[in-house]
Amino acid sequence: MGPRILIKETVNNIGEKVTVAGWVNTRRDHGKLIFIDLRDRSGLVQVVFSSKNEAVLKEADRLRPEWVVAIEGMIKERPESMKNPNLPTGDIEIEVKKITILNEAKTPPFDIDSDGHEISEEHRLKYRYIDLRRSRLQENMKMRHKVVKFIRDYLSKQDFTEIETPILTKSTPEGARDFIVPSRRHKGKFYALPQSPQQYKQLLMAAGFEKYFQIARALRDEDTRGDRQVEHTQLDLEMSFVTGDDVMNLTEELFMKMVETLYPAKKITEKPWPRLSYKEAMEKYRSDKPDIRKDKNDPNELGFAWVIDFPLFELDEENKRYDPVHHMFVMPKEEDISLLDTDPLRALSTQYDWVANGYELCSGSIRIHKRKLQEKIMNMIGLDTEKAEEKFGHLLDALDSGMPPHGGIAPGIDRLMMVLQNEPNIREVIAFPKTGDGRDLMMDAPSQVEKEQLDELGISIKKPKK
Ligand code: ASP
């Protein structure tokens, strides 16, 4: 057989002998003729086995969906009446000369020719590698790649440096519950997986990079709801010597260009994106995630907006303390700093949220860059000086080391892709998502580990109470 060409290229080779390879998508048996639709990553093509070639017809008789084959054949233009305008290769078909069965496959657990919405999700997630073969998910993953590549290219051109920050780090009370990882070499001690690279990115500003980004994984051991995952991907970004307007403008330009380039059919409800104060959003939309679209049924409308002027704190009645509305590193508005001593709940912050079609895509803010103010906020949210030093001493010291003013943002890639691809939940745009209760059904994680592994870690498992 000759070198393989992709199915999408077959239309350019009418009258030629070619080799294609892929999966049997469907098979139609007409006795003297057997048709298969062959699938590869580039599309589908009709392949014909005719009785003129007994040997290949016999092989074709064995073929079943999802078998993997290589085929050598002639590309023929179909008669006018047989052309299929719904298929990019619908004008042609391949008349098989030779077939090699590269692998057989068991009957697939479900149909992959449909959009898959009709199949139970648990079933789809258990066999995700098969589920991912359906064209809807192939498209979602390919668009996700293009979006991430666009972001990388755009920010690189703007002089940002992409820097990886650690996955094994320290447990700090940052808001959500940490996933913790026991250390074998330091028994009784634990790493934590990052809830976000927040502290590292601020430390990178102390380190003088000025413009940092990362396509980062953030892990939060939370009870998941609807469109959340215990691990999610965000474009984590931080800049020095900027105002909130600078960060919002950069984000807006980046994502407007991305939509124009990769989703030209989409319409943006309002340009530039409206900036609503938290108060306005609550009064007008009864939500801090307002859906500003004019036509909520139009799959091509994107209602992007900013929500600004959030309160810095909310009151935690139960624990009698202030909780940060976003996180403890958020800078209060300059003019409200004095309210911290008199009426903290009235103080507004530099936080800005980007919302899309009623979903919060991210929060960002200008950060506190001076130690005194950071310590004060930490105290107000219930971290006494000793605890603040123990948990965040590294950051407090960095603020004292020549930390420039800085701010950033972290748009969630999963949610953004869900909105762009008009998917009902983020699992549809993640290759290997977890269930709502944090299980990977395909890998069967979380799972038990060997006793030796626990012994090495000095860990024993308490029997759960009956
Ligand atoms: N670190 C924040 C988060 O992950 C985002 C930010 O403030 O940049 O939610």
Q: How far is CA 18 from CA 4, 6, 53, 75, in A?
A: 7, 10, 17, 7
The structure's pTM equals: 0.95
- Average pLDDT score over residue span 358-382: 96
pLDDT class of 176 with cuts at 50, 70, 90: confident
Residue spans of beta strands (DSSP E) within 368-438: 406-409
Whether residue 429 contacts residue 231, with contact meaning beta carbons closer than 8 Å, is answered with no
411 lines ligand 1 (CB under 6 A): no
Q: Report how far residue 342's alpha carbon sits from residue 60's, in angstroms, rounded to the nearest whole number.
A: 82
Q: pLDDT tens digits, residue range 235-273? A: 999 999 999 999 999 999 999 999 999 999 999 999 999
Burial of 40 (0-12, 13-18, 19+ CB in 10 A): middle
Task: Name residues whose C-beta falls within 8 Å of residue 210's C-beta, 6 or more positions apart in sequence.
Answer: 239, 240, 241, 404
How remote is the C-alpha of 317 from its chain's centroid? Answer: 35
Mutational pocket test of ligand 1: of 199, 214, 234, the residue with most ligand atoms within 8 Å of the beta carbon: 234
Q: How far is CA 425 from CA 229, 230, 420, 460, 461, in A?
A: 10, 14, 11, 38, 35
- Report the separation in Å between the CA atom of 312 and the middle of ligand 1, taken as the mean of its atom positions: 15
Kindly report the average pLDDT of the chain as a whole number. 95
Q: Report how far residue 289's alpha carbon sits from residue 203's, in angstroms, rounded to the nearest whole number.
A: 30
pLDDT class of 209 with cuts at 50, 70, 90: very high
- Report the separation in Å between the CA atom of 434 and the middle of ligand 1, taken as the mean of its atom positions: 22
22 lines ligand 1 (CB under 6 A): no
Please report which helix (H) or strand (E) contains residue 199, including its range. Answer: helix 198-206
pLDDT at 52: 87
Whether residue 302 contacts residue 269, with contact meaning beta carbons closer than 8 Å, is answered with yes
413 lines ligand 1 (CB under 6 A): no
92 lines ligand 1 (CB under 6 A): no
233 lines ligand 1 (CB under 6 A): no
pLDDT class of 318 with cuts at 50, 70, 90: confident
pLDDT at 224: 67
Whether residue 214 contacts residue 163, with contact meaning beta carbons closer than 8 Å, is answered with yes
218 lines ligand 1 (CB under 6 A): yes
